[in-house]
Chains A and B, each alone.
Chain A
Amino acid sequence: KAGVTQTPRYLIKTRGQQVTLSCSPISGHRSVSWYQQTPGQGLQFLFEYFSETQRNKGNFPGRFSGRQFSNSRSEMNVSTLELGDSALYLCASSLDGGTGHKGVSGNTIYFGEGSWLTVV
């Protein structure tokens, strides 16, 4: 089955602009999460959506927002872009991810190829 699909793959924006990134999870996956990865850094959790509801949120300013649609597709938006927002934005999906799951299948998150955002 198709993997996690993210669009666009590459984009360049100017400071002050806003950007919307899109993510289509693996078919049947209801949990979609977003991470920011900067060069040489680990992955910083942005937020997670499940059944159109934001279930968890990381420590990012309010300029970062997201949403999930009824088909589980998700978008994230960054407003008033800053130079420091330049990063790889990764979307990940998982089967369910509820805290009751102990097995590998319920705990594996699958990443998309990411969207490379450059702010100039």
Chain B
Amino acid sequence: GQSLEQPSEVTAVEGAIVQINCTYQTSGFYGLSWYQQHDGGAPTFLSYNALDGLEETGRFSSFLSRSDSYGYLLLQELQMKDSASYFCAVRDGNAGKSTFGDGTTLTVKP
């Protein structure tokens, strides 16, 4: 079966850098995605890695190592609005069929 592991909670202060790790076990692998979800809102796409390495999008970066079945999301210059849940998801077939981790709740404190 498919499984993803990520920390359940992370706390950091404004302006800091935080890294959310994700390890996965899947029968097939086409890429690792990250989603942000604020309370009561819909998950929104942050980044996608199909190949090893770092992808940077503004304050957010995502890294993938396929040999280690591992990835991380790096958030820099944290802002209060970054307080949310962050999900890693593995695409193990068609894009619409993704397996999600249980999510990491990030709390940013002043």
A interface list, Cβ under 8 A from B: 31-33, 35, 41-45, 48-50, 55-56, 58, 90, 92-94, 96-99, 101-104, 106-114
Given contacts A107-B30, A107-B31, contact A50 B96 (CB under 8 A): yes
When chains A and B are docked, how far (Å) is the Cα of A109 from the Cα of B94? 11
Q: Are B42 and A113 in contact (CB under 8 A)?
A: yes
B interface list, Cβ under 8 A from A: 30-31, 33, 35, 41-45, 48, 50, 87, 89, 91, 93-103
Q: Are B93 and A43 in contact (CB under 8 A)?
A: no
Q: Are B43 and A90 in contact (CB under 8 A)?
A: yes
The total number of A-B Cβ pairs within 8 Å is 85
Q: Are B94 and A56 in contact (CB under 8 A)?
A: yes
> Could you say which residues of chain B place their CB within 8 Å of the CB of A106?
95
Nearest CB of B to A23, in Å: 12
Q: Are B42 and A45 in contact (CB under 8 A)?
A: no
Residue of A nearest to B99 (CB): A45
> Could you say which residues of chain B place their CB within 8 Å of the CB of A97?
94-96
Nearest CB of B to A88, in Å: 9
